[in-house]
């Protein structure tokens, strides 16, 4: 008789990677609040004490699954088109935070994960190699990071589409058209779906990248054309 897949999973040897992946699957599915050593052990089919051979405690698990989640970010490539490379990586980062919404809900511990450090260094290098000045690299990095993480935090607060549409319809019923005509139009656009061709994240991202490009070119022109001295 064939052995059930879940039985095979329980018989597989325990390892830190298996513990972390099981924890990440659990919080992806049910939220960060359900995570506990006892609950995780039950999902893995082992005793809770068995987990301590592979992880120190719950905080160790949290740090591990954050690193596991952020390792999914596609780092910016070294392609000649720096904007395309940074754009692709930024979308990957944003999508990673959307898949693992609990990441942005965790308090900052002061210790960046290894995956996050790799991403930060890779982005800063790509901006520098693209010819941005040290000052512009600094500001460009923070503008991108703010948009990526800020958008993820904003989206995490938005209910599913069905609930959001019902809420929008309730608001419309309460708003007098003559007092808030533009807001009414805005809500109607959300309900109609006519603005869903480009995600708002990508719209803002392209504005930031275009702005960085303009500043980069202006800096290059200034360096190539030093100010002339007036007549003595």
- Per-residue 3-state assignment (H helix, E strand, C coil) for the chain: CCCCHHHHHHHCCCCHHHHHHHHHHHHHHHCHHHCCHHHHHHHHCCCHHHHCCCCCCHHHHHHHHHHHHHCCCCCCCCCCCHHHHHHHHHHHHHHHHHHCHHHHHCCCCCCCCHHHHHHHHHHHHHHHHCCCCHHHHHHHHHHHHHHHHHHHHHHHCCCCHHHHHHHHHHHHHHCCCCCCHHHHHHHHHHHHCCCCCCCHHHHHHHHHHHHHHHHHHHHHHHHHCCCCCCCC
Confidence band of 5 (pLDDT split at 50, 70, 90): very low
CA distance 78 to 82: 7
Q: Report how far residue 232's alpha carbon sits from residue 90's, in angstroms, rounded to the nearest whole number.
A: 51
- Residue whose C-alpha is closest to residue 92's, from 73, 117, 118, 77: 73
CA dihedral 122, 218, 214, 79 (to 10 degrees): -40
Q: Which domains does the chain have, with CATH numbers?
A: 5-70 (1.10.10.60), 82-157+195-224 (1.10.357.10)
Please compute the mean of the pLDDT values over residues 54-71 and round it to a whole number: 95
Q: Check pLDDT > 70 for residue 136.
A: yes
Confidence of residue 96 (pLDDT cuts 50, 70, 90): very high
Nearest-5° Cα angle at 207, 204 to 211:
145
Neighbours of 60 (CB within 10 A): 16
Half-sphere exposure of 194 toward its Cβ, with a 13 Å CA cutoff? 6
**Cα–chain center distance at 11:** 35
Q: What CA–CA distance (Å, rounded) separates 47 from 19?
A: 12
Band of residue 156 on the pLDDT scale cut at 50, 70, 90: confident
Place of tokens 């190539």: 224
Chain segment 181-231, per-residue pLDDT in tens: 898 888 888 888 755 545 889 999 999 999 999 999 998 888 777 666 656
Q: Is the pLDDT reported for residue 37 higher than 70?
A: yes
Number of other residues whose CB lies within 10 A of the CB of residue 122: 18
Q: Which residue has the higher pLDDT, 190 or 33?
A: 33
| Least confident among 26-35, 142-151, 161-170, 219-228 | 219-228
């Amino acid at each position: 008789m064939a052995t059930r897949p879940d039985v095979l999973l329980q018989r597989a040897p325990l390892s830190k990677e298996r513990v972390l992946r099981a924890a990440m699957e659990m919080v992806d599915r049910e939220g960060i609040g359900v995570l506990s050593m006892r609950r995780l052990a039950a999902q893995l089919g082992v005793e809770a004490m068995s987990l301590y051979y592979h992880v120190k405690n719950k905080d160790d698990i949290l740090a591990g699954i954050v690193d596991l989640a952020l390792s999914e970010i596609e780092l910016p490539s070294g392609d000649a088109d720096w904007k395309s490379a940074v754009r692709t990586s930024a979308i990957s980062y944003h999508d990673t935070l959307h898949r693992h919404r609990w990441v942005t809900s965790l308090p900052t511990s002061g210790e960046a994960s290894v995956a996050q450090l790799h991403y930060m260094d890779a982005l800063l290098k790509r901006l520098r190699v693209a010819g941005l000045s040290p000052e512009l690299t600094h500001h460009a990095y923070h503008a991108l990071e703010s948009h990526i993480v800020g958008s993820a935090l904003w989206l995490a607060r938005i209910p599913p589409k069905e609930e959001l549409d019902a809420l929008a319809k309730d608001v419309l019923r309460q708003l007098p058209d003559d007092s808030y005509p533009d807001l009414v139009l805005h809500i109607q656009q959300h309900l109609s779906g006519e603005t869903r061709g480009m995600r708002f994240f990508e719209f803002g991202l392209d504005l930031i990248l275009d702005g960085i490009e303009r500043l980069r070119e202006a800096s290059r022109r200034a360096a190539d054309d030093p100010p002339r001295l007036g007549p003595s």
